[in-house]
Structure 1
């Protein structure tokens, strides 16, 4: 698996925006692994639902921070992270971030994306006509 995440940027919410989404898929405790790679390291950056571009890690951070709404952006490092590059492993707030997608609050999730047994899943699928009454 490729290392993925967001650059550590001043808004805590942006740095740890994926926490709630990861917890939806059964991850009980999520921790952050902070690592440092060279500024000229090639990475792939972009919005999770769109294409990614190959840029340097410094350009990836700038790409994310220049947007008015940087939620949903991610960075892939196409190699393993060496032990010497890891700076620290730390706990993160377990309820930070968004579920389903940024700005999803108030709109129903995709009924086909809600797993069986997920809290409120049957109600969501029934409202969409995917599940019989």
Structure 2
């Protein structure tokens, strides 16, 4: 949802105002900040977890993002694989690879900033009781 809103903002406002390259860069930065904000807001919902689990949450978020991107691109938009993979370069101001890295790391980073990463020994003790 966040990425779709970002895409609409890019197409309707940023592209006409700034042109292709600046709009793509701005859009990538805005989407990355939005993902970090969502992670920041979600951390209390998850509670305190070991670093490994925060990283798994990020991996899950990344997996969902890629599944949507490739599934929608192939099944709905009928794009060729080459067209889909072209989005995974930094050409023309495209920051999509950076956005994916932020998606992967955002839960762990937000949890660290909010002090919600448990020491690895604490998680093992908690689960045994």
- Which TM-score band applies after superposition, normalised by the shorter structure? under 0.3
More strand by share: 1
TM-score for both structures, normalised by structure 2: 0.22
TM-score for both structures, normalised by structure 1: 0.22
More helix by share: 2
Higher relative contact order, structure no. (Cα contacts within 8 Å, ≥ 6 residues apart): 2
